[in-house]
Amino acid sequence: MPQEILLTRTGYEKLKRELEELKGPVRLQIAEAIREAKSHGDLKENAAYHEAKLNQTRLEGRIADLEKVLQLAKIVDRPDAGAHEAHLGSKVLLKDAAWGESFTITLVGSYEADPAQDMISITSPLGSALLGRVAGEEVEIEAPAGSMRYSVIEVRLEYGG
């Protein structure tokens, strides 16, 4: 059986909207770009045609990826018990023990992860260490960058779930 892909409800809806956009307006735009480029004649030396075809290939690949993800997706809702525990979809306010700086992350499934946007996968070292934690607890993790310690300041649900 294929492996399930864990997503928050918000993440699932976001991917669904992206798929609809790609299959509709974006696909039509690329088809129009191909038609336009074909009208310029010789396809062997037509850079616009080759670029449009490349964009079409990329688009179809992304559509196939999204369809597979949505097919395998398992929406994980926050359990009623443990309402204050860090879980998929939780926003967690952390304080770095070494630097004293506070920051907030959102725990998401691996497909939704985007560290640049502070969306951390529950399968990452930090994400997995935070699962089930509550405010007041400390976590120590071993990551590629070395050992780090954080204090959990607050756990709240504001994303997905």
Which pLDDT tens digit goes with each residue over 48-76? 899 999 999 999 999 999 999 999 998 88
Q: Residue 27 maps to which CATH number? A: 1.10.287.180
Other CB atoms within 10 A of residue 7 CB: 26
Answer for the pair 11, 111: CB distance below 8 angstroms, yes or no.
yes
Domain identity same for 35 and 94? no
Q: Write out the two tokens for 76.
A: 């994980």
Domain identity same for 70 and 100? no
| DSSP output for the chain | -PPPEEE-HHHHHHHHHHHHHIIIIIHHHHHHHHHHHHTTS-STT-HHHHHHHHHHHHHHHHHHHHHHHHHHEEE-PPPSTTTTS--TTEEEEEEETTT--EEEEEEE-TTT-BGGGTEEETTSHHHHHHTT--TT-EEEEEETTEEEEEEEEEEEE-S--
What pLDDT shows up at residue 101? 94
Exposure letters 75-85 (e unless 16+ CB within 10 A, then b): bbebeeeeeeb
Domain identity same for 26 and 55? yes
Domain identity same for 60 and 97? no
- 83 in a domain, yes or no? no
| Dihedral sign from CA coordinates of 66, 69, 75, 78 | negative
Domain identity same for 66 and 10? yes
- 82 in a domain, yes or no? no
Instruction: Using the 3D structure, point to which of 42, 75, 108 is the last residue of a domain.
Output: 75
What pLDDT shows up at residue 39? 87
Domain identity same for 12 and 63? yes
- 80 in a domain, yes or no? no
Q: Residue 125 maps to which CATH number? A: 3.10.50.30
Q: Write out the two tokens for 69.
A: 């993800």
Instruction: Using the 3D structure, point to which of 75, 104, 123 is the last residue of a domain.
Output: 75
Domain identity same for 95 and 59? no
Condensed to tens digits (0 to 9), the pLDDT of residues 77-105 reads 766 555 688 988 889 999 998 899 999 99
Answer for the pair 8, 161: CB distance below 8 angstroms, yes or no.
yes
Domain identity same for 71 and 9? yes
Domain identity same for 99 and 63? no
Q: What is the pTM of this model?
A: 0.73
Instruction: Using the 3D structure, point to which of 41, 75, 109 is the last residue of a domain.
Output: 75
Domain that holds residue 119: 90-157
- 135 in a domain, yes or no? yes
Tell me the angle at which helices 9-21 and 47-72 cross, rounded to the nearest 10 degrees.
150
Q: For the chain, how many structural domains are there in total?
A: 2
Answer for the pair 107, 89: CB distance below 8 angstroms, yes or no.
yes
